[in-house]
Chain A
């Protein structure tokens, strides 16, 4: 009896800790080309369905243009193209994840959005040091959830790392 009570108390404390770090360790996961990726939810403002994109000239191919988000004009990036994968026709499951990084708001086009997962640090392995090609250089680490592996992305690198392109 006593043991059980103390056990319960322990569990309670853990819950409180987690509640305090509201967004730490939580990742929004999505699918690109049947692979699962994710990044920290603290960057995410909202998720919307795909909508009309207005093209902007002189941009790298992965910057598709801009959209009108309730009166704000924000740039959108096709993550597939950013990873060097072939384009895919947008369907009704294609989403735009609107993120905010360093005061800049950008939309990321992904095939499908999955779910928000808790991935504690202990479950994240460093990227096996393979060729730093295309998509690989955006990966922060490999998050293990159950039997699956989600590739966790570095949002800043995703937005700004050059391949002879932007900013």
Chain B
């Protein structure tokens, strides 16, 4: 080692860092096994009396040894302290426009709508989640306007599937109205649990945070209203939440549920430092997805699917086909850009030629409607067929009906 610089033969400093120096001092000052000293060996003062505690030589310095009580206490093995940031795991919800972080009750990025919706660009629902709601992260619908979860738009009058923001909305009655207001009425955990049970969910709701409970009440109101309108919410409910009714829910599931139908994806595993510092990296971003009665459909990363997505969003004609008089569970969420009457449609999308469709529906994507595109499912040789367009219920409008 170079005594002048403290560097070793490779040029690297071998002098202890400030932290290591401190640790070394702690080690040097640690109690040592008490030597057995005869009375004559005890230090004696100038007046001839023995001192209270014998001195011992430590690290080149004389130091009084510790008293008996301290010396005899159990010596635990010392754990080396390492100065590092302790990662914690949180989860954030990706709304249509940006990420929401329920722990802090704020969005992680600025509102793309600007200051028009709120003085703070990061507040949820304009800082007033009781009276406002901000399902897509772009603005707060707090003016009493109902919000349509199906299309993401303010609905037209008469739309029966509407989540009303105004607690005095006459459309909100009974349990729906109560659930709507529960967030501001100090709803108990038992109330939330009862509501969850009424929806066939179960789970332990006592662990929810306050802001999440408010979301819960609002979301439940929406789903109950959909149920009252005759929709089978059971499948959607379970697929949105991603759990089987009756099972305990993970944080991720609760958060997805909390944002309800407004959540199009969930990011988990975001690492922050222990003090809640800046986000380091999202580790498990999921592609946008849409829940249908059959599955959770995710956006495909393939070029073909991305091209189809652009076509659908740019107003391309969408097609659906089937047989009249056959009821189904779905709500016309599956469409295709390919004309079913064209050649090759049957092969690509797996329609058996023996079963001829007797109607073709056409339509266009509603502005702002949630949509994803991916490969249609199939069995065996039909697997990986044509690209399908999946929308939220009611996502396609301007419908036409044709019977070939």
A and B: bona fide binding partners: no
